[in-house]
Amino acid sequence: MARMGKKLIALCSTAIGIVYSAGYLVNQQPAQMSASSLGSYSTSTLAQGLSTDVAPSSVPMPTETVSPDANKTQTELQTETQPKTETQPKTESKKALSSPLPTMEVKKGEAAPQKKTQEAAPTPTHTEASLNSPTPQKENVKGTAPSAIPTATPSPKATATPSPKATEAPQVSMPTASKYKDGTYSGSGTNRFGTVEVSVSIKKGKIAAVVITDSQTRYPQHYIDSLPSQVVEKQSAKINTVSGATRSSEDFIAAVQEALKKALA
C-alpha cells in the first residue's frame, strides 16, 4: 500500500500546527476578556489571565501544568511563604501579582508601582498557593482589604532569614477558627475545569460541617468527597489536595476559603 511522502507529512503537520496556533490565539482573547469582565471570581486561572492582560510581555501562555510545588500541601507552602515585613519589595510584588483585580485596594505602604510588579513577575506555573489565592470579593473592591494581603504584623524571623523560595508563591493568610460567626455560609470555586460550591456551617465559632452543594467539574464528585471532613478536622481550608483530582480540589479549597471569609466576625 502506498505511504504518505515525507514532504506531505511535513506539510500536513505544519498546517495543523498553524491551525492550532491560530485557534489558540483567537480563543485566548475572548477567554481573557470574559475573565476581566467578571466582577467576582475565585481562582488563579482567571487571575492569571488578568495578569497576562496587565503584563503581557512578562507572562507567557498560561498552562494548567502544575509544578512539582503544587504537590506540596498548603502547610508546606505556608512554611515556605513565611510572612514578610512590608519592607520587602519582592514579596510585595508577588502579592500584587496574586491579586487578580488591579483596582483592588491595597494597604498603605504595600502598594508597589505596577511596573515594578510586572518586572518581578514569576514564571506562570501554578503553585498550590497561587491556585488557592483568595477571591477578591465585591466588598474587597469597596474598601475592605482582601485577605490575600497579609496582616501588617512584622515578623522578625522572616526579616532575618529571607528565603528566595518564599517569594515564589503568594502568601495566603487564613483566618483562625475562633473568628468565625455562627451560621451557614456558601462559597464557590471556579476554574476552567468547572465549579464547586460548598456550604460551611459554623457553630460556636468552629467549622461544624462542610457540604459540597454543587460540583460541576469535568471530574466525578466522589474524587473530592474526602475533602469536607479534612476541613472540619483541621478547622481550616489548608488541606491537602487529592492527587489525581487536583483541579477539583482547588475549586473546593477556593470555595471553602470564600465561605470562611464570609463567616469572619
Partner 1 sequence: MKSANNAQRAGKKPYIWNTPKGFVMILLVVLLALAGAYSQTYRGLINAGVSVVAAVLIDMWVGLMQKRKRLFPDGAIITGLIVALVLSYMEPWYIVSATSMFAIVSKHALRVNRKPFFNPAAFGLLSSTFLFSSGEDWWGSLADLPLWSVGILGVGGFIIAQKANKFPQVFSFLGTYFTILLMVGLLHKSEVMELYQPPFVNAILFLSFIMITDPPTSPSKYSGQIWFGFAAAILSIVWNFTYGGTSFLLVGLLCVNLLHVLIYAVQSKKKKTSAQIRM
Rounded distance between C-alpha atoms, residue 185 and residue 199, angstroms: 6
Nearer to partner 1 by Cβ, of 16 and 265: the residue is 16
Decide: is 64 part of the binding site for partner 1 (CB under 8 A).
yes
Beta strands in the chain (DSSP E): 183-191, 194-203, 206-215
**What residues from 180 to 239 belong to the interface with partner 1 (CB under 8 A)?**
192-193, 218-220, 222-223
Q: 161-190: which residues touch partner 1 (CB under 8 A)?
A: none
Ramachandran class of 183: left when φ > 0, alpha when ψ lies in -120 to 50, beta otherwise: left
In the region spanning residues 39 to 58, those forming contacts with partner 1, defined by CB under 8 A, are none
Comparing CB distances to partner 1, the nearer of 19 and 264 is 19
Nearest distance in Å: CB 153, partner 1: 35
* Closest by Cα among 163, 265, 258 to 210: 258
Judged by CB, which is closer to partner 1: 159, or 221? 221
Site pattern 2..41 for partner 1 (x: CB under 8 A): xxx----x--xx-xx--xx-xxx-xxx-xx--x-------
By CB under 8 A, is residue 71 in contact with partner 1? yes
Burial 153-182 (b: 16+ CB within 10 A, else e): eeeeebeeeeeeebbbbbbbebbebeebee
Nine-digit cell at 75?
Answer: 502547610
* Amino acid code (one letter) for 257: Q
Question: Which residues are near partner 1 by CB under 8 A?
Answer: 1-4, 9, 12-13, 15-16, 19-20, 22-24, 26-28, 30-31, 34, 62-68, 71, 125, 192-193, 218-220, 222-223, 242-246
